[in-house]
Amino acid sequence: MKYSGYFKVLNLGEMAFVHLDVLCFYSLLICTAFSSVSSNAEIKVNPPQDFEIVDPGYLGYLCLQWQPPLFLDKFEECTVEYELKYRNIDSEDWKTIITKNLHYNDGFDLNKGVEAKIHTLLPPHCTNGSEVQSLWSEATYWKSPQGSQETKIQEMDCVYYNWQYLLCSWKPGLGVHFHTSYQLFYWYDGLDHATQCPDYIKVDGQNIGCRFPHLEASDYKDFYICVNGSSDSHPIRPSYFIFQLQNIVKPLPPDYLSLTVKNSEEVNLKWSMPQGPIPAKCFIYEIEFTEDDTTWVTTTVENEIRIARISNESQQLCFLVRSKVNIYCSDDGIWSEWSDEQCWKDLSEEKRSLFSSRHILLTE
């Protein structure tokens, strides 16, 4: 009996020791967890240094640049990244870039201010499993304003005719002196510097437009323009514009139209692709078709279309067509002028009418 009792006491002791071991284990886990949190909380990184927005003189193409943060040598084995956000000041949306570089270039509307902010990112493998971000570093940029808003040019209009030559025109600002002189400068990636218009369009000695020279390798790039001016009476505020040339192309109209009446129910319309450098795959066509007094409009990417006649007794069929660069080659475009009209008349009806008139005369 004593032995048995002694055995039970030992079991109770063992259970007590086991219970104590479990408590210590959980305590150790909690301490480790708090230690880890404390360790993560202590990992910090500074924001980039010397963040600034630099204008190299390209009429809106700006450089955002910065230097690495202080004490980055503590993270030598880490690949540090930067999150950059920027926008024109009146824009609702930020553009966001993640980069490992120390600079980034993009185009901005210099009629408005520019703001940007950047912070440093440390990836999770450098910080015990969670990304660490620095505070933001911010920068702004404004062109120094000069002249009143009314002195800016009005109604700027640029057209890239037949994807071959660019022409821009404008009207003088309100209330400016008759002798105000306007100058146009342009730049796109590939030019060494901003270039002045070589061939101005003038009215009464005042520049109101520009004929551009051949623009080599200028498609599918931002094209920057500034029109500024000078006057003896008051300063002139410059105007800035950004567009891409393929989006303002105005092709030539199609030519060599043909209209063939296949049978009493169907008409075949065909035309030649406009002349010039625009590939055939880049065109969309708008056709205006008239059958007697009924007119309707349709579009096609082909240079031929078949149309069902409303009536096999229609007396006249006519159509004309115009062209535009389609969505496969540009984001937008300008319709060409309408082609000359091509028509078909039912001569058999005219002959019947003529025969009927002659028959009446003979009868009389």
What per-residue confidence (pLDDT) applies to 355?
42
pTM: 0.79
What pLDDT, in 10s, does the model give residues 74-103?
Answer: 777 788 899 999 999 989 999 999 999 999
What per-residue confidence (pLDDT) applies to 364?
53
Closest CA to 165 of 117, 122, 212: 212
**Collapsing DSSP states into helix, strand and coil, what is residue 336?**
coil
In this prediction, what percent of the chain has a pLDDT beyond 70? 84
What tokens appear for 252 in the block? Answer: 């030539």
The dotted CATH code for 252-349 is 2.60.40.10
Strand partners, 321: 287
What pLDDT, in 10s, does the model give residues 100-154?
Answer: 999 999 999 999 999 999 999 988 877 777 888 999 999 999 998 788 888 899 9
In this prediction, what percent of the chain has a pLDDT beyond 90? 60
Distance CA 211, CA 334 (A): 18
What pLDDT, in 10s, does the model give residues 30-88?
Answer: 444 433 334 445 678 899 999 999 999 999 999 999 999 987 777 777 888 999 999 99
Average pLDDT, the chain: 84
Which helix (DSSP H) or strand (DSSP E) does residue 357 occupy? helix 347-363
What tokens appear for 147 in the block? Answer: 């002249």
- Tokens 């075949």 belong to residue: 268
Which helix (DSSP H) or strand (DSSP E) does residue 63 occupy? strand 61-67
What per-residue confidence (pLDDT) applies to 113?
95
- pLDDT category of residue 292 using cuts at 50, 70 and 90: confident
For the CA atoms of 29, 31, 32, 33, the dihedral, rounded to the nearest 10 degrees, stands at 90
Torsion angles phi and psi, residue 308, rounded to 5: -85, 135
| For the chain, domain boundaries | 49-142, 149-247, 252-349
Of 22-31, 87-96, 301-310, the one with minimum mean pLDDT is 22-31
What per-residue confidence (pLDDT) applies to 347?
67
- pLDDT category of residue 330 using cuts at 50, 70 and 90: very high
Pair type for strands 316-325 and 342-345:
antiparallel
Torsion angles phi and psi, residue 231, rounded to 5: -150, 145
Which helix (DSSP H) or strand (DSSP E) does residue 6 occupy? helix 2-42
- pLDDT category of residue 334 using cuts at 50, 70 and 90: very high
- Tokens 């006057």 belong to residue: 231
Mean pLDDT of 216-241: 92
Which helix (DSSP H) or strand (DSSP E) does residue 2 occupy? helix 2-42
The arrangement of secondary structure in 49-142, i.e. its CATH architecture, is: Sandwich (2.60)
Asked if the domains 49-142 and 149-247 are classified in one and the same CATH topology, the answer is yes
What pLDDT, in 10s, does the model give residues 188-227?
Answer: 999 999 999 999 999 988 899 999 999 999 999 999 999 9
CATH level 3 topology of 149-247: Immunoglobulin-like (2.60.40)
Specify whether the CB–CB gap between 342 and 256 falls below 8 A. Answer: no
- pLDDT category of residue 28 using cuts at 50, 70 and 90: very low
Specify whether the CB–CB gap between 138 and 51 falls below 8 A. Answer: yes
